[in-house]
Amino acid sequence: MFTPEVISTGPVRLRLPREDDADAITRAFTDPLITRFIAGAPVPYVRDDALAFVKTAAQSWDLGGAQFAVADPETDEWLGGAGLKPVDGQGTYSIGYLVAPWARGRGVASAAARALTEWAFEHGAARMELLADIENVASQRVAHAAGFQREGVRRGWEPRRDGLRHDMAAFARLSGDAGHPIRPYLPFLPGGSLTDGVVRLTPITVADATGFHEMLSDPDVQKYHVPPEAPPFDDLVARCRKTGMWWLAGERAEMAVLDAGTGEFAGHIQLAQVLPGLGQAMLGYSLLAAFRGRGFATRAVNLLIRWTFEHTELARVIAGTDPGNAASHRVLERTGFAREALLRDFLPGPGGVRKDDLQWVHLRP
pLDDT tops 90 at residue 327: yes
DSSP 8-state assignment for residue 232:
P
DSSP state letter for 124: T
Amino acid at 156: G
Q: Give yes or no for residue 156 having a pLDDT over 80.
A: yes
Q: What band does 223 get if pLDDT is binned at 50, 70 and 90?
A: confident
Q: What b-and-e string marks burial along 85-106, b requiring 16 or more CB atoms within 10 Å of the CB?
A: bebeeeeebbbbbbbbeebeee
- What is the side-by-side strand order in the sheet with 280-287? 194-195, 199-203, 253-259, 265-275, 280-287, 316-321, 354-363, 338-348
Task: Give the pLDDT score at 228.
Answer: 82
- Residue 336 has a pLDDT of 98
CB atoms within 10 A of CB 333: 13
- Residues 215-241 have a mean pLDDT of 92
If one counts every other C-beta atom within 10 angstroms of the C-beta of residue 189, the result is: 19
What is the chain's mean pLDDT, rounded?
A: 96
Is 108 a residue whose pLDDT tops 80?
yes
Q: Which of 52, 65, 42 is nearest to 21 (CA)?
A: 52
Note whether 284 and 272 are within 8 A (CB): yes
So what's the pLDDT on residue 196?
98
C-alpha distance from residue 130 to each of 35, 139, 317, 346 (Å): 19, 9, 34, 40
What average pLDDT does the segment 255-266 reach? 98
What's the predicted TM-score (pTM) here? 0.93
Q: What is the pLDDT of residues 78-106, one digit of tens each?
A: 999 999 999 999 999 999 999 999 999 99
Residues 6/70, Cβ–Cβ less than 8 Å: no
Helix (H, G, I), strand (E, B) or coil at 226: coil
**Could you tell me the end-to-end alpha-carbon distance of the chain, in angstroms, rounded to an integer?**
57
With a CB cutoff of 8 Å and minimum separation 6, the contacts of 77 are: 24, 71
The fold of 7-174 is Aminopeptidase (3.40.630)
Contacts of 89 (CB under 8 A, 6+ apart): none
* Range(s) of the chain covered by CATH 3.40.630.30: 7-174, 190-363
Please check the confidence at residue 1 and state whether its pLDDT lies above 80.
Answer: no
What is d(CA 298, CA 361) in angstroms, rounded to the nearest whole number? 15
Residue 61 CB neighbour total at 10 angstroms:
18
Tell me the C-alpha distance between 331 and 295, whole Å.
Answer: 9
Q: Give residue 311's pLDDT.
A: 97
Helices 108-122, 137-145: inter-axial angle, 10-degree rounding: 50
pLDDT at 92: 97
For residue 236, the surrounding DSSP H or E stretch is: helix 233-249
pLDDT confidence tier of residue 39, bands split at 50, 70 and 90? confident
With the C-alpha atoms ordered 81, 118, 187, 359, is the resulting torsion angle positive or negative? negative
Residue 226, Cβ density class (10 Å: 0-12 exposed, 13-18 middle, ≥19 buried): middle
Q: What CATH topology corresponds to 190-363?
A: Aminopeptidase (3.40.630)
* 276-299: pLDDT as tens digits: 999 999 999 999 999 999 999 999
Give the whole-angstrom CA distance, residue 286 versus residue 325: 12
Contact 313, 185 (CB under 8 A): yes
40 SS3 class: coil
**AA identity, residue 39:** A
Using pLDDT thresholds of 50, 70 and 90, give the confidence band for residue 153: very high
- Burial label, 200 (beta-carbon count in 10 A; 0-12, 13-18, 19+): buried
What's the mean pLDDT in 306-314? 98
pLDDT at position 46: 97
The pLDDT value given to residue 174 = 98
Instruction: Say whether pLDDT at 162 is over 90.
Output: no
pLDDT band (50, 70, 90) for residue 351 = confident
pLDDT at 127: 98
- Residue 161: the pLDDT is 85
